């Protein structure tokens, strides 16, 4: 059996096998999603100042008050929860806490994400089912 040198040990398909690599990738993706959301959020909220009557902002709020946007809000909740909890995990690892059980910490954080998502999904789909929108 040959031993690969350190420089080429993780090259190729082996790079995408470990839990840490997927955590790293999803952390970056969720960060980009949150940055894009923040940019769009600022633009939408700023439309209230751009228009004299505020009709544009009201029409945007009515647009956001539909089931598709509620589902996208749920996706935003998942991105925020994942990014926050994985960030806390990384900070703990930087301080040397849980380095021997970093995979367990990751899966516990993902369990919290799933539980919180289930609660938010239940509330969101109850919102859709009852048709009680904020602007109804």
**DSSP calls for 79-132:** HHHHHHHHHHHHHHHHTTTTGGGHHHHHHHHHHHHHHHHHHHHHHHHHHHHHT-
Contact between 44 and 60 under an 8 Å Cβ cutoff? The reply is yes
Kindly tell me the sign of the dihedral angle through the C-alpha atoms of 17, 20, 24, 26: positive
Query: Tokens in use for 88?
Result: 């806390």
Domains and CATH numbers, the chain: 19-130 (1.20.1300.10)
What does the pLDDT average to over 20-49? 85
Mean of the per-residue pLDDT values for the chain? 78
Please tell me whether the overall predicted TM-score, pTM, comes out greater than 0.85 for this model.
no
Q: Could you report the per-residue pLDDT of 67-98, keeping only the tens digit for each?
A: 788 778 888 888 998 899 888 888 888 888 87
């Amino acid at each position: 059996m040959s031993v690969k040198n350190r420089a080429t040990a993780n090259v190729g398909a082996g790079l995408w096998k470990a839990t840490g690599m997927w955590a790293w990738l999803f952390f970056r993706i969720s960060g980009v999603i949150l940055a894009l959301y923040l940019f769009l959020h600022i633009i939408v909220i700023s439309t209230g100042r751009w228009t004299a009557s505020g009709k544009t902002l009201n029409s945007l709020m009515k647009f956001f008050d539909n089931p598709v946007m509620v589902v996208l809000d749920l996706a935003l909740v998942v991105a925020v929860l994942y990014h926050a909890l994985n960030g806390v995990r990384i900070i703990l690892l930087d301080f040397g806490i849980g380095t021997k059980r970093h995979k367990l910490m990751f899966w516990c954080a993902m369990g919290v994400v799933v539980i919180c998502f289930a609660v938010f999904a239940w509330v969101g789909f109850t919102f859709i089912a009852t048709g009680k929108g904020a602007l109804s």
